[in-house]
Structure 1
Amino acid sequence: MRVAIAGAGAVGRSIARELIENGHRVLLIDKSASAIRPERVPDAEWLLADSCELSSLEEAKLDKCDVVIAATGDDKANLVTSLLAKTEFGVPRTVGRVNHPNNEWLFTEAWGVDVNVSTPRIMSALVEEAVSIGDLVRLFTFRQGNANLVEMTLPVDSPFVGTPSGLVPFPDNCALVTILRDGQVYTPDAEQPLESGDELLFVVAAEVEEELEKILSPTSHGR
């Protein structure tokens, strides 16, 4: 897979290293000459260019890329890069970094963003996930399909503690993906009883999140 990353700062370089380790070809793009440091990621391609300029993206051969990641520290640049990648070059997948939480609403398919990654939201979700029991915590939003990855730590007073997961009346448009228990990852088994303290991961439609929380943790819901 060929991946172009706009923004060769600490974030862009870290992403590049991970992708290269996984066997992908990576191009790092930055408009600042001081950011072009090939020795920091020697296996990547490097390009001194402005990712908001159409001519620069043509030079980068974005039409040959499978994924474009807009990872600069400027939300406006990330939006423009994503939009050009999608509309002018037909890149199949775009990922946009959200630097300021107030701008998150802009990072949608209307601006060419398939997936947005908001650091403030992720950090907030991780804090909630670490301290919340009985509350549904949204970890990640899938832009395509209007679905979210959510987590709940099953409280001791849940009516379904001890109930096989196959007998729990989960709402439609909801799938139990995995169960984390005692440091182990379990594939959901319809006959396996749920235990208090289980971390349950679901892929669920946004409109049924409240229903799911109410089913599993009625005493905590809406508190």
Structure 2
Amino acid sequence: MRVAIAGAGAVGRSIARELVRSGHHVMLLERNIEHVESDSIPQAEWVHADACELSLLEAANLETYDVVIAATGDDKANIVLSLLAKTEFGVGRVVARVNDPRNEWLFDESWGVDVAVSTPRMLASLVEEAVSVGDLVRLMTFRQGQANLVEVTLPDDTPLAGKPVRKLRLPRDAALVTILRGGRVITPQPDDPLEGGDELLFVAAVDVEDDLRAAINI
């Protein structure tokens, strides 16, 4: 997969290292020449360019990339790049970093954003997850489909303990994708039994979250 990342700060470099380690082709776009340090990630392609400049994106052949990640520390730049990537270059998947939660409402499909990642919101969600056993916690929003990644930790005395996954009567637009149990990551099968303390990860449409709560008795 070919991935273009705008912003070679701590966030952009961390993403690039993970993607390179997984065997993907990565291009890092950075407008500050002092941050262009190709020796730090030699496997990546480094380009000194302002990711908001159309001509520079054309020169970088952005249309040949499968994914664009707008990871700069400037929300305005991330929005502009997202829109250009989607409308001018036809990039299939655009992921944008939200630095200021007050700007999160802008990061949607009308600005070319498929997935908006808000670090403050994610940290808050993780805190909620740690203290909210038996409640539904939103971890991430998938803007294009208006769906959320949500987590529920089953209490130790859950009435679902011992029951197989197939007994969950989930609403139509909700799917159980993973069960986290201790150090295990379980791909749920119909006959797998549920246990108290299980962390259940669902992808669910926003308007069925109440039905999902009812289905898992919270």
TM-score class, shorter: over 0.9
Shift of 1:86: 0.9
Q: Deviations over 1:25-66 (max 9, x none)?
A: 111111111111111111111111111111111111111111
Matches within 5 A, 1:107-122: 107-122=107-122
Helix, strand or coil at the partner of 1:51: coil
Note the residue ranges of structure 2 that are not aligned, 5 or more in a row.
none
Is 1:123–2:118 an aligned residue pair?
Answer: no
C-alpha separation in 2, matches of 1:192 and 1:44: 42
Residue 84 (structure 1) aligns with: 84
* Structure 1 residue 150 displacement after superposition: 1.0
- Aligned residue identity for 2:172: D
Residues 82-161 of structure 1: matches in 2 within 5 Å?
A: 82-161=82-161
Cα separation, 2, equivalents of 1:176 and 1:3? 28
The answer to whether the 8 A contact 1:7-1:72 is kept is: yes
Residue of structure 2 in register with 1:31 after alignment = 31
CA drift of 1:198 comes to 1.3
Q: Deviations over 1:176-203 (max 9, x none)?
A: 2222223222232333332221111112
Partner amino acid, structure 2, of 1:94: V
- Residue 30 of structure 1 contacts residue 48 of structure 1 at CA under 8 Å; is this kept in 2? yes
Paired letter, 2:209? E
| 1-structure distance, mates of 2:10, 2:189 | 41
- Matches of 1:213 and 1:77, distance apart in 2: 38
* Correspondence 1:59 to 2:51: no
Equivalent residue number for residue 10 of structure 2: 10
Q: Secondary structure in 2 aligned to 1:77?
A: helix
> Residue type of the partner of 2:118?
S
Q: Which runs of 4+ in 1 moved over 4 A?
A: none
User: In 1, Cα distance between the equivalents of 2:175 and 2:36?
Assistant: 44
One-letter amino acid of the structure 2 residue matched with residue 84 of structure 1: L
One-letter amino acid of the counterpart of residue 168, structure 1: L
| Amino acid in structure 2 at the alignment position of 1:11 | V
3-state SS of paired residue (1:138): strand
Greater CA deviation, 40-49 or 78-87? 40-49
Query: What is the alpha-carbon distance in structure 1 between the residues aligned to residue 191 and residue 18 of structure 2?
Result: 38
* TM-score, with structure 1 as normaliser: 0.91
Aligned residue number for residue 203 of structure 1: 203
The one-letter code sitting in structure 2 at the alignment partner of 1:206 is V
Long gaps (5+) in structure 1: 219-223
Deviates more, 1:87-96 or 1:177-186: 177-186
Q: Deviations over 1:124-170 (max 9, x none)?
A: 11111122111001112222322221111112443333332212322
Q: CA deviation at 1:122?
A: 1.0
Kindly indicate whether the alpha-carbon contact (under 8 Å) linking 2:108 and 2:144 is maintained by their aligned counterparts in 1. Answer: no
Tell me, in whole angstroms, the C-alpha distance in 2 between the residues paired with 1:23 and 1:87.
28
SS of equivalent to 1:89: coil
Higher mean C-alpha displacement, 195-204 vs 78-87: 195-204
- Calculate the TM-score normalised by the size of structure 2: 0.93
The answer to whether residue 188 in structure 2 is matched with residue 192 in structure 1 is no
Distance in 2 separating the partners of 1:46 and 1:192: 47
* Number of residue pairs the alignment of both structures matches: 218
Report what 2:172 is aligned to.
172
Please tell me whether the aligned partners of residues 158 and 216 of structure 1 are also in contact (alpha carbons under 8 angstroms). Answer: no
Partner of 2:70: 70
Does structure 2 conserve the Cα–Cα contact (< 8 Å) formed by 1:69 and 1:94?
yes
Aligned-residue RMSD, C-alpha = 1.5
